Amino acid sequence: MIWVIVIFIIGYILIKYFLALNKDNNDLQGKTLDDKFHFIVDEINESAFNGNGHVTYIDKREFNLYEVGQNQIVKFHYSSGHLSIIWKYKYFQKEVILERQFNDVRNLSIFDQQRIAKAMITEMTIVVENHKANVLNDI
């Protein structure tokens, strides 16, 4: 009896997950991931790369934003209605990583996208300042 319940629960979770992935496909139909979140991408690009960053696709749900020759890269990953942003910054060969997941981002307004971008930028600014201070103290 317990096995039936466990199998039912696992099946339910898998079905919900695959339905969410199908919704992702519908969200991205006719547009790229960076188009869907272009206000977030633009704000972070401006802050991190002075607007000179470029998008490189890993697949339809994931891309990197970076500028050649710079010491940072920002990865965007979208799955089951959630957006993960992973921002990596290297200073004197030591890397710091800020990773945040934003839930239920299927239908974000411009204001919501700008709020997410500003939150990431503000937090990363603090992380980078602390990282630089720690690296310089280690030298």
Residue 18 has pLDDT above 80, yes or no: no
Q: How many CB atoms lie within 10 A of CB 88?
A: 16
Cβ partners under 8 Å of residue 102, min gap 6: 82, 83, 84, 85, 116
Q: What is the pTM of this model?
A: 0.87
What are 110-132's pLDDT values in tens digits?
Answer: 999 999 999 999 999 999 999 99
Crossing angle for the helix pair 110-138 and 38-49, to the nearest 10 degrees: 30
pLDDT at 10: 87
Average pLDDT over residues 54-65: 95
Asked if residue 139 has pLDDT above 70, the reply is no
Give me the mean pLDDT over the 49-58 stretch.
Answer: 96
